[in-house]
């Protein structure tokens, strides 16, 4: 009989140590090491000394049939998954508590069950009666979804193996599952890894699609060992703010479709409502005529999205000015501020800077640099930007505005929503496609845009207008801005 080996495993990253210590050297977290039995992490059938079997090897050449997909009936969910659920695939869905993960999956499973598919929803956190209450609130209590409240992986696999193979199985959540092949407590790194491995093996063997719901840590990362994210076929992140009614489903990893694709939902009293035109929704409550606001034409996956950037630059008496940003990379904001001060003469060392992406959307692409810079300068000089203009372009450290990808798609979306002008990089003028119908203002450097916005502000009462279009305003050079 194999001797049990005890080790201390970090519950945040999965690193193992021979003795306990307060800080994990791998991830830097404190008090995350727990004692676990690592010998039990390998099933007895695998540890047994059996003779290996031979299997056939195939070449790279040859045709493979397209994986059949199961459409969920929700357009936004199918967009993120790449067209539907692939047979035998395993998806990991993570999100903050109360964001709406169970609501989304309840709606998706109900639609599939009504279409005649066998759908199984297994909850390890709620009783069957609690799941029924949610379905009744959403008006989905008549959907023939098969429910169960169970946490034993062996019992779940044995039950699902009887009868017809389910088309879709929801496990809510993977942190509550446990398997008797390991002796650790449910929720530990070893249990999560072993339970996920058993469920993935069942999915690949039977062809059933499985959705695993995962908890997230305080910094937004999916809890448990990182190896689980490598084991599954797709990782979906459900994002949103509690004060906002918008919810964003983002594909972080997808073996069967594009990554960084998003689906937009609106939380209502009857559940999640799909938003087919997120640009119109994000711009529905624009602050027209207010300095410090600029519309950014961005790309999320394959979808163009227009969103408003709001900036506030206010004088401060503090020795270290504040830099606060919501929905954008703080490091990117620091870079834009440094370029404005170094190459455009905009002195912001005595001002607090606040930047917000309206609507709760988080922007990841660098094409938002130009829109953020325009909003910051507009707030500084109290100049209103054109309400019918969109901005996009990447700013380099030398102050040059660099081109970005998918310019025609951005312009087409702006024209569809009624915008008349676009401020874009000079080198992207030849990629516009010629059919957008917008008036293009191509800029080569950030200094040009700053001068234009400052001149607009001087017409509202400032007397220090720049002498020429590309000149930096004198009050910026003197530090009076």
Task: Kindly report, residue by residue over 76-95, the tens digit of the pLDDT.
Answer: 999 999 999 999 999 999 98
Higher-scoring residue by pLDDT: 170, 53: 170
Domain boundaries, the chain: 6-39, 69-276, 281-478
Between 430 and 414, where is the model more confident? 414
Helix then strand then coil, % of the chain, to nearest 5: 30, 25, 45
Predicted pLDDT of residue 204: 94
Burial annotation 180-206 (CB, 10 A radius, 16+ → b, else e):
ebbebeebbbbbbbbbbbbbbebbeeb
Which architecture does CATH list for 281-478? Answer: 2-Layer Sandwich (3.30)
Phi-psi map region of 15: left, alpha, beta (phi>0 left; psi -120 to 50 alpha) = beta
Whether the per-residue pLDDT at 433 is higher than 60: the answer is no
Q: Is 353 exposed, middle or buried (0-12, 13-18, 19+ CB in 10 A)?
A: buried
Does 48 carry a binding-site annotation?
Answer: no
Average pLDDT, the chain: 85
- Mean pLDDT is lowest, of 61-65, 87-91, 108-112, 205-209, for 61-65
Phi and psi torsions of 444, nearest 5°: -100, -30
The pLDDT value given to residue 50: 53
Q: How much is the average pLDDT of 21-32? A: 86
**Phi–psi pair at 20, nearest 5 degrees:** -75, 145
Write the CB contacts of 462 (distance below 8 Å, at least 6 apart in sequence): 381, 454, 475
Name, in order, each residue with C-beta under 8 angstroms of 387's C-beta and a sequence gap of 6 or more. Answer: 286, 288, 289
Q: What is the Cα–Cα distance from 231 to 222, expressed in whole angstroms? A: 14
Query: pLDDT class for 470, splitting at 50, 70, 90?
Result: very low
**Cα 224–228–232 angle (5° rounding)?**
145
d(CA 191, CA 181): 9
> Is 97 marked as binding a ligand?
yes
Which strand (E) or helix (H) includes residue 341? helix 330-343
Residue 110 binned pLDDT confidence (cut-offs 50, 70, 90): very high
Which CATH number is associated with domain 69-276?
Answer: 3.40.50.300
Judged by average pLDDT, the poorest of 115-119, 211-215, 460-464, 470-474 is 460-464
Q: Are 191 and 178 in contact (CB under 8 A)?
A: yes
State yes or no: 95 annotated in a binding site. Answer: yes
Which pLDDT does position 394 carry in this prediction?
95
**How far, in Å, are 98, 128, 134, 270 from residue 139 at the CA level?**
19, 16, 9, 8
Q: Is 104 helix (H, G, I), strand (E, B) or coil?
A: helix
Indicate the pTM of the whole model.
Answer: 0.75
pLDDT in tens, 196-211: 999 999 999 999 999 9
Tell me the pLDDT band of 289, cut-offs 50, 70 and 90.
confident
pLDDT of the residue at 216: 80
pLDDT of res. 255? 92
Q: How far is CA 223 from the centre of its chain?
A: 16
Say whether 281-478 and 69-276 share the same fold: no
Question: Does 461 show up as a binding residue in the annotation?
Answer: no
Instruction: Give the side-chain half-sphere CA count within 13 A for 13.
Output: 12
């Amino acid at each position: 009989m194999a001797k049990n080996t005890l080790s201390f495993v970090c519950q945040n990253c999965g690193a193992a140590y021979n003795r306990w210590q307060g800080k994990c050297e791998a991830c830097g977290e404190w008090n995350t090491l727990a004692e676990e039995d690592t010998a039990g992490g390998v099933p007895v059938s695998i540890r047994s000394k059996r003779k290996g079997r031979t299997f056939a090897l195939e070449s790279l050449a040859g045709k493979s049939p397209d994986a059949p997909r199961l459409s969920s009936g929700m357009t936004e969910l199918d967009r993120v998954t790449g067209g539907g659920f692939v047979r035998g695939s395993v998806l990991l869905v993570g999100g903050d508590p109360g964001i709406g993960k169970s609501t989304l999956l309840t709606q998706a499973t109900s639609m599939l069950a009504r279409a005649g598919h066998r759908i199984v929803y297994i909850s390890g956190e709620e009783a069957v009666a609690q799941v029924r209450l949610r379905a009744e609130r959403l008006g989905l209590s008549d959907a023939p979804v098969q429910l169960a409240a169970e946490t034993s992986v062996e019992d779940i696999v044995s039950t699902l193996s009887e009868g017809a193979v389910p088309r879709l199985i929801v496990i809510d959540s993977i942190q509550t599952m446990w398997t008797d092949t390991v002796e650790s407590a449910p929720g530990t790194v070893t249990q999560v890894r072993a339970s996920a491995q058993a469920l993935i093996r069942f999915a690949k063997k039977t062809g059933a699609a499985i959705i695993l719901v995962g908890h997230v840590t305080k910094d937004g990362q999916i809890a448990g060992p990182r190896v689980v994210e490598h084991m599954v076929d797709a990782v979906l992140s459900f994002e949103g703010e509690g004060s906002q009614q918008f919810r964003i489903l983002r594909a972080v990893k997808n073996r069967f479709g594009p990554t960084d694709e998003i689906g937009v939902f609106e939380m209502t009293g009857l559940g999640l409502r799909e938003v087919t035109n997120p640009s119109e929704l994000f711009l529905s409550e624009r602050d027209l005529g207010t300095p410090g606001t600029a519309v950014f034409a961005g790309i999320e996956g394959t979808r163009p999205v227009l969103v408003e950037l709001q900036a506030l630059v206010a004088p401060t008496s503090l020795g270290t000015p504040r830099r606060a940003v919501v929905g954008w990379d703080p490091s990117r904001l620091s870079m834009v501020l440094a370029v404005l001060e170094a190459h455009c003469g905009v002195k912001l060392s005595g001002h607090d800077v606040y930047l917000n992406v309206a609507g709760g959307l988080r922007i990841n692409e660098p094409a938002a640099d130009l829109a953020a810079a325009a909003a910051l300068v507009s707030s500084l000089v109290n100049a209103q930007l054109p309400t019918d203009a969109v901005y996009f372009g990447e700013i380099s450290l030398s102050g040059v505005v660099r081109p970005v990808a998918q310019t025609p798609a951005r312009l087409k979306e702006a024209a569809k929503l009624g915008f008349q002008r676009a401020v874009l990089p000079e080198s992207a003028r030849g990629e516009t496609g010629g059919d957008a119908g917008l008036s293009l203002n191509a800029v080569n450097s950030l200094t040009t845009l700053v001068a234009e916005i400052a001149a607009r502000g001087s017409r509202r009462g400032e007397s220090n207008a720049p002498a020429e279009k590309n000149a930096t305003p004198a009050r910026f050079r003197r530090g009076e801005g």
